[in-house]
Amino acid sequence: MPKLHLLLKAELENVTNLRPSSLDHQWNFQVKCTSCHEQHDSWISFNATDESEIPNSRGSANFTLKCKSCKAQTNASILSDSFKPYTAENGAAQPVLTIETRGLDFVGWRPANGQIWIVEGVESGVVFDDVEFEDGELDWAGYDEKAQCSVGVNGIHGEFAKAK
């Protein structure tokens, strides 16, 4: 099965280790069928703990979808051992998870409303476990009392790259 990395990039202000708060974090994606190249008309959401039977198969996946255009059966699973925090050490996009996919190409990502993220203060080590990106907002700001400085995540965005 082909594998894709979700690469995140953001400007981190006095924080590091941006990551979801749990394995059941809902991930929001735009997908298109690899058979007919038709993009699905709405965003899809699933997590690493969801489990659905793959039609006409003995296997399961985190997400299954029948293409509306060509009727191809598609599926995807998040590899739960692939989660990595985003650190922004060199300013480049970094893989934060890996998705196994059959019949789907992932073409978009955005933070899901109501999903909690965690970051840590660079100087203080203080854990901020209440980071949310609501209603399309791609920024978060706070204050680190221990280090006495502002903290934030700005311009978070994702892209995809083939995994080896």
In Å, what is the CA distance from 8 to each residue of 17, 18, 41, 61? 12, 10, 23, 23
Q: What is the pLDDT of residue 13?
A: 96
Q: What is the pLDDT of residue 44?
A: 96
- DSSP type of residue 93: -
Q: What is the pLDDT of residue 89?
A: 77
Q: What is the pLDDT of residue 90?
A: 74
Residue 92: CB partners within 8 Å, gap ≥ 6? Answer: 9
The four Cα atoms 103, 109, 112, 113 give a dihedral, to 10 degrees, of: -140
Q: What is the pLDDT along the chain (164 residues), one digit of tens a residue?
A: 899 999 999 999 999 999 999 989 999 999 999 999 999 999 999 999 999 999 988 899 999 999 999 999 999 999 989 999 999 777 789 999 999 999 999 999 999 998 999 999 999 999 999 999 987 789 999 999 999 999 999 999 999 999 98
Residues 79, 163: Cα–Cα separation, whole Å: 12
Q: What is the pLDDT of residue 18?
A: 97
Q: Can you give the residue ranges of every domain in the chain?
A: 3-162
Cβ pair 52, 74 in contact under 8 A: no
Structure tokens at 163: 């995994």
Q: What is the DSSP string of 51-76?
A: -EEPTTSS-EESEEEE-TTT--EEEE
